[in-house]
Amino acid sequence: MHALVPAAGIGLRFGGERPKQYIEIAGKPVLAHAIEAVRRDSRVTGVTVVIAADDRWFEASTRARVEPVEVVAGGATRAESVHKGLQAIARRHPQADWVLVHDAVRPCLSAARLAQLLTDGLASADGAILALPVRDTLKRCDAGHRIVATLDRASLWAAQTPQLFPLERLRAALGDLLQAGAPPTDEAAAMESAGGRPLVVMGSPRNIKITWPGDVAVAAAWLAGIDPEEEDL
């Protein structure tokens, strides 16, 4: 099983002077925490990181902290970056059957949630993802912010990463969507579009995706005060 960490985003929603995966928390870039987190399970045998073609940060701030790691140049969308990473893994590691995709901006993944995902996902033909049952009531709104529908939250889950899939099937599914000009926002959506039914495995509210500036302080608090090996549901 090879891990793939897409880190080629520039963080349009976040702003700031550097991409959010390179912000330092607890003495290390967010990306270094994310890579360390996927390595905490010995079933992961290698890590490939996708960085922007014009990345100015990885070599200077991160590479030395995360070796050994393989590096690939990314694309314009997350889906394109992941697809480029999958192509490289398939070429360099023909024996890799499974791929574990984990956002560079989720530094607080615990060993317990990762282990559960790997155990359940490897037993599921179409793979698995970490996800959380939605706790708020969800509203669909029009452009003027008026509510037009209320969704039934009983069946709704918010997708997290890591996401674990058979490598070749994910590569083919993502390739088809990219060719059709319809890049998905996560890997599970590519599997679904190819007829797959991936499993959801209980994630954690601590497995936060750093998206807004305030998220950095939250992630720092989790990383400072909590043993990443402990259960975190």
Decide: is 104 part of the binding site for ligand C5P (CB under 6 A).
yes
Number of residues near ligand C5P (by CB under 6 A): 16
Is the distance from CB of 130 to CB of 233 less than 8 angstroms?
A: no
* Angle at alpha carbon of residue 189, lines to 188 and 193, rounded to 5°: 120
Q: How far is the CB of 178 from ligand C5P (least distance, A)?
A: 12
Pick 39 or 124: Cβ nearer ligand C5P:
39
* Angle at alpha carbon of residue 227, lines to 35 and 128, rounded to 5°: 50
Exactly one of 37, 38, 99, 105 binds ligand C5P (CB under 6 A); which one? 105
Measured distance CA(157)–CA(9) in Å, rounded: 24
Q: How far is the CB of 84 from ligand C5P (least distance, A)?
A: 9
Pick 8 or 174: Cβ nearer ligand C5P:
8
46-51: strand order across its sheet: 70-73, 46-51, 2-7, 98-101, 157-166, 128-133, 199-202
**Start-to-end C-alpha separation, the chain:** 25
Q: Which of residues 161-200 bind ligand C5P (CB under 6 A)?
A: none
Site string for ligand C5P, 140-159 (x = CB under 6 A): --------------------
Where does this chain bind ligand C5P (CB under 6 A)? 6-9, 21, 50, 74-78, 81, 103-105, 211
